[in-house]
Homo-oligomer: A and B are copies of this chain.
Amino acid sequence: AAEMAMENYKQFLFFLATSLSVGFVAVVFVLRWVLYFRGGLAWDGDQAEFNWHPVLTVTGFIFIQGIAIVVYRLPWTWKCSKLMMKFIHAGLNTLAFIIAIISLVAVFDFHNTKNIPNMYSLHSWVGLAAVILYALQLLLGLCIYLVPITPVSIRAAFMPIHVFSGLFIFASVIAAALMGITEKLIFSLNNPKYSSSPPEAIFVNVLGLLLLLYGALILWIATRSPWKRPSEQSAPARLTNGGGCKSDREGLTMSDSVAEVRNEPDPSSEARRRNPNQDEAGQRSTM
């Protein structure tokens, strides 16, 4: 179970490479949008400050969050300790969260200097709800999966909720971005209008499709069970060396040593050992 069949591995690499490429092209598109069509980036209370809002959302809250979601699935990390991977997952999500907050500050600051009301649109409601749920998700994730004293039973019971919420929040952020694109094109295209399909309209609609495609690819990778990180139980590398990456035994990181000292069990495999028929707990990150 620890080794992925070659065919499977190639398919995984194809989807991973495609998703990262699509996400990267989306970042390039949002940069070209604001730099070429919308007057660039600045922190001046004006349009160029607003422009940080789409740039930071697409880069941080969508692209980086997507990477954070699939990080456990990278087969070359399966020989690394689970705890280290948790730190990477939590770190990338924290980075995405900080960027999302700066993105919010940009748009609130722009609205306030321009006397535009805040929080009236469905875009703003869904977007702010997503940021709040993301903060809650981060906090609960840290308490349940990184605080060492949390009982294994709680970790296992909460896992399906953690996975579902994560994917749902990610999808909601993309939905909010699509509404944001819709609003911005209607408000800022005047002569010619959005409805006469000037080059900017077509270009930014394509950005919307890229975001949707990136979402589809990340969700596909995150929900294929053959691409799951093997449970600790069935990963001999983990059992024999107790932590760290197999190929790098000299450079034990702090997190590895912590894992070794505490002998931290994998919540889901532990639960399965105790209760082999607990379907829900056995699902881990496949929903």
Contacts and interface: CB of A to CB of B under 8 A. Distances in A.
Given A117-B195, A122-B185, A212 B178 contact: no
Interface in A102-121: 116-117, 120-121
Contacts of A174: 175
A88 interface: no
Contacts of A116: 195
A83 interface: no
A257 interface: no
Interface in A193-220: 194-197, 201, 204-205, 208-209, 212, 216, 219-220
Contacts of A219: 164, 168
A156 to B, nearest CB: 14
Contacts of A172: 212
Contacts of A223: 164, 287
A225 interface: yes
A123 B286 contact: no
Chain A: number of interface residues, binned into ranges: 35 or more
Given A120-B201, A123-B182, 4 more contacts: A125-B205, A171-B171, A224-B280, A225-B280
B186 A120 contact: no
A283 B126 contact: no
A182 B121 contact: yes
B197 A120 contact: yes
A85 interface: no
A179 interface: yes
A226 interface: yes
Nearest to A175: B175
Most chain B beta carbons < 10 A, residue from A171, A197, A283: A171
B212 A126 contact: yes
A95 to B, nearest CB: 25
A76 to B, nearest CB: 21
A194 B174 CA distance: 22
B185 A186 contact: no
B182 A122 contact: yes
For the complex of A and B, the 3 pairs showing the least CB-CB separation, nearest first, are: A122-B208, A175-B175, A223-B287
